[in-house]
Chains A and B, each alone.
Chain A
């Protein structure tokens, strides 16, 4: 099994104070309102214990049958400033990655710059880990990713 270490950042300027952005992370009710799947999924487990050492879980079955499991542990929380967590991501029970995710909130006037820095160990466990994502023939961005990963190469080779 190969391991790839990689890092990326995402920056967003949000029209809300750091306190409001922080609040969106701090309770299960608030976080469930936005940290969610866009389609009709079946939620299998959903928990959030937002404190250092506390855990979060979002375990769900997608319409195509894929079961995704996000399991996080909070390592550092500074109110309205930063949240550091480590999360594992599973697809159909196979671990795809372990990531250190640092979220920084910086006030910019009445807005907040959200800086997401993710350092991950990405585990490639062969096709089994990702087979669940192959469903349907309708083109959308997920299919593109599948294509990039080479799983649908036979479709056009």
Chain B
């Protein structure tokens, strides 16, 4: 039986917890882009974009290559395997449910009788 290692995926999900980085991934899902193209629609400085890119690269979601003075970024999440995607989806589903469980428990804490 395959014992799946979730760590790289946790890194990816951490990287995607930020809306700015999700916006960058969204842009890259339409095709490779230069750093300045990525930064253009975002309300953040170029150096902030570079920082975010570093996190996305460390998580294995994005790769970048420098040609002359232009750094081009490419989405790499297609490299993730099928099994990783299954586990990611299932973990995401259950984590969402447990978020809702936490909310439910906190809303009902006054009703506890034992």
Chain A contacts to B: CB under 8 angstroms: 4-8, 10, 12, 14-17, 19-21, 24, 30, 33-36, 38, 97, 99, 114, 116, 118, 120, 122, 124, 139, 141, 143-145, 147-150, 152-153, 155-156
Contacts and interface: CB of A to CB of B under 8 A. Distances in A.
24 contacts: A4-B2, A6-B83, A8-B91, A10-B98, A15-B102, A15-B109, A16-B109, A19-B114, A20-B112, A33-B104, A34-B103, A35-B97, A36-B97, A38-B96, A38-B100, A114-B98, A118-B90, A145-B88, A145-B89, A145-B92, A149-B85, A152-B29, A155-B30, A156-B30
Interface in B1-48: 1-4, 6, 16, 22-23, 25-26, 28-32
Given A14-B101, A139-B25, A141-B16, A8 B87 contact: yes
Nearest to A149: B85
A12 B102 CA distance: 9
B77 interface: yes
Interface in B56-107: 75, 77-78, 80, 82-92, 94-98, 100-106
| Secondary structure dominating the interface of A | mixed
A34 B22 contact: no
Interface of B: 1-4, 6, 16, 22-23, 25-26, 28-32, 75, 77-78, 80, 82-92, 94-98, 100-106, 108-109, 112, 114
Contacts of A150: 78, 82
A87 to B, nearest CB: 11
A125 B103 CA distance: 35
Nearest to B3: A7
Given A6-B2, A20-B112, A139-B25, A148 B103 contact: no
Contact of A34 (B3, B89, B101): B101
Given A38-B96, A116-B94, A156-B29, A8 B102 contact: no
A17 B92 CA distance: 25
Contacts of B31: 156
